[in-house]
Structure 1
């Protein structure tokens, strides 16, 4: 058996050790359900602060900016809200929520955060803010301090409550990202990409394209191969509040407009509209890797192709090691100008990170994972 790599993403069992050793703490005990194969779900705290605007956190500790005793002299906070019984976050407004979890990382570990898949599919923009840091979602090695979550609902007002999770965090030692040559070698041994339809065959070596990550394409044909095929969804502009505690509860038609295959297999994306689309390929994430979506070229236009981005080890694998492959669902929002896209167009890429060890739990195997067998799928709150 090959030795475990010295650099990589911490798996489930090592995250549990971080918690036991006091590197991750919370006033309310961390629950086992929060610990995923390669990540930890972070929970909303007891309060949310309605902000005037977003801000850069580098100048001072975050807590020093949250003085709401004198609204007239606060440069950032409008008011605070109690989340313990549930509260509504209005769309288009900026909120800052202190999370229950805090970190005392060793100097050998850094961390990176992303919205959960469900959060992204609801068009809820989130990012982690830490004390005296110039950026978002990247947590420096050895960080000791609290975690704050900036939350901006974009398409829907949402009802949230203390203890719910909108984002997740990974812990990283050293340089984890696998180079292109390693991905190509891995694909030859154990395919990472499959065609979605009509025949789910492994993508050939010639079609397997890499450049600091693995390229994937957009599917604007759908599986039915008819003019009635649904190839995406667009969020409606006016709708009711979505309570995040209600699963399989809301009628999709009240919140989403289905998009059907166009005869030219193209789609015109309107500025500041929100779309749910899917990849043309199906991906697999082997048990000793994790993966993350990235925009493949920021200079290609004012177009955001995803909000969420983590794929845990085992994503796209069935139970008992069966390789199934799973489509990637994309949360797409164009900015400023209309954007025309075509079926099969390169749309985003995925980077693969090495795990420090194979997780003792894999995605989709006994975890109640929501999206293991997904195709074009809305968040788990909707029934179609």
Structure 2
């Protein structure tokens, strides 16, 4: 299998995303450490799931530790004298993170990256679909989620539940980290060539027709559209969901447990195939196209707010090798589920409107494990799908 996929990449790259087997090697060499030790379940085809530590700190506000180590802001004898920390919480037996509050959680993992290796982080799909805003913070850094080459130090996770209060415990994973060597991004010309040989996008229709070259739009990534018509093969007419304002706590340990009706309002197809998004409401929507990520590549949704208006179109953005592809390329794409939050003003969107963008990166090698095979991947065959905590 690996030989077949390697032929899809012109040559073994020296720059790219580290695959499953190389992440395991980082653990062996001590570039990745943790207590308790990192578990195999955390290692994904092109990323590592990071785990919540034993404490959480309720903060007055978000912050960036550009001028001092994070621990110096947390290590105070009297939190009432702190300009940042309100109180400390124990996560070992579980604790509730309230909606709208800012928390900082030291993660169990610790990095000792070599000088030629950097990293970037992203919420897991399940985290994004619950409207839990997360971003990794590192010492002496002026940005979130981007971890500089050669970084030696701890990792912290800022967590802000937006729509629902959530119960979390030590060892649970809300986000993931991807390791990068050099420049990994695939050019637009290479994307077009790849699409002609191994299609990346399909129409979301019963025939799963490949997107033609005229419809295939690339400009520093692939442009994709929003689906507001839904599946004509069903009678539900549901084209999305909107989070209810007042709901109970969601325990992240309970999978397939909650009734969607208690937390979500279904949105039905409008006669004009449009949808008015209200400011600061949270929506789950889906893409017009079905996306594939061949085994020699990884992908990521990127910010598109500046071009399409005052709204955020996603929280979780990593797509692993094999997403919508299958072990032998037998899957004709998977819809992308979007987490959408408008800001400031109402925003009207229409079916087929360009709505977000996906950037492809090269892998350093084909992963020994692909998405949707033996790793227990949750969303390989998804359509419009809520997080795994809700009953199907």
Displacement of 1:72 after TM fit? 2.7
Q: TM-score, normalised by structure 2?
A: 0.96
Deviations 1:123-166 (A, max 9, x none): 00000000000000000000000000000000000000000000
The number of residues matched between the two structures is 384
Q: Which residue of 1 aligns with 2:95?
A: 87
List, as ranges, runs of 4+ consecutive aligned residues in structure 1 with deviation greater than 4 Å: 225-228
The aligned runs of 1:141-290 (5 Å cut-off) are: 141-224=149-232, 228-290=236-298
C-alpha distance in 1, partners of 2:134/2:234? 37
C-alpha distance in 2, partners of 1:8/1:137? 18
Alpha-carbon contact 1:220-1:267 (below 8 Å) kept: yes
Alpha-carbon contact 2:66-2:141 (below 8 Å) kept: yes
Alpha-carbon contact 1:215-1:296 (below 8 Å) kept: no
Q: Which residue of 1 aligns with 2:3?
A: none
The aligned runs of 1:53-68 (5 Å cut-off) are: 53-68=61-76
Displacement of 1:226 after TM fit? 7.5
2:41 aligned counterpart, secondary structure: helix
Alpha-carbon contact 1:68-1:80 (below 8 Å) kept: no
Q: Structure 2: where are the runs of 5+ without partners?
A: 1-6
1:64 aligned counterpart, secondary structure: helix
Q: TM-score, normalised by structure 1?
A: 0.98
Tell whether 2:334 aligns with 1:326: yes
Q: Which residue of 2 aligns with 1:337?
A: 345
Tell whether 2:126 aligns with 1:124: no
C-alpha distance in 1, partners of 2:337/2:44? 20
1:314 aligned counterpart, secondary structure: coil
2:13 aligned counterpart, secondary structure: coil
Q: Structure 1: where are the runs of 5+ without partners?
A: none
Q: Which residue of 1 aligns with 2:380?
A: 372
Displacement of 1:298 after TM fit? 1.6
C-alpha distance in 2, partners of 1:30/1:122? 25
For residue 19 of structure 1, the aligned residue among 3, 27, 37 is 27
Displacement of 1:83 after TM fit? 0.3
C-alpha distance in 1, partners of 2:158/2:65? 11
Alpha-carbon contact 1:58-1:131 (below 8 Å) kept: yes
Displacement of 1:107 after TM fit? 0.1
Alpha-carbon contact 2:327-2:370 (below 8 Å) kept: no
Displacement of 1:4 after TM fit? 1.3
What root-mean-square deviation, in Å, do the aligned CA atoms of Structure 1 and Structure 2 show?
Answer: 1.2
Displacement of 1:318 after TM fit? 2.7
C-alpha distance in 1, partners of 2:235/2:373? 36
C-alpha distance in 1, partners of 2:73/2:222? 41
2:265 aligned counterpart, secondary structure: strand
Alpha-carbon contact 2:113-2:152 (below 8 Å) kept: yes
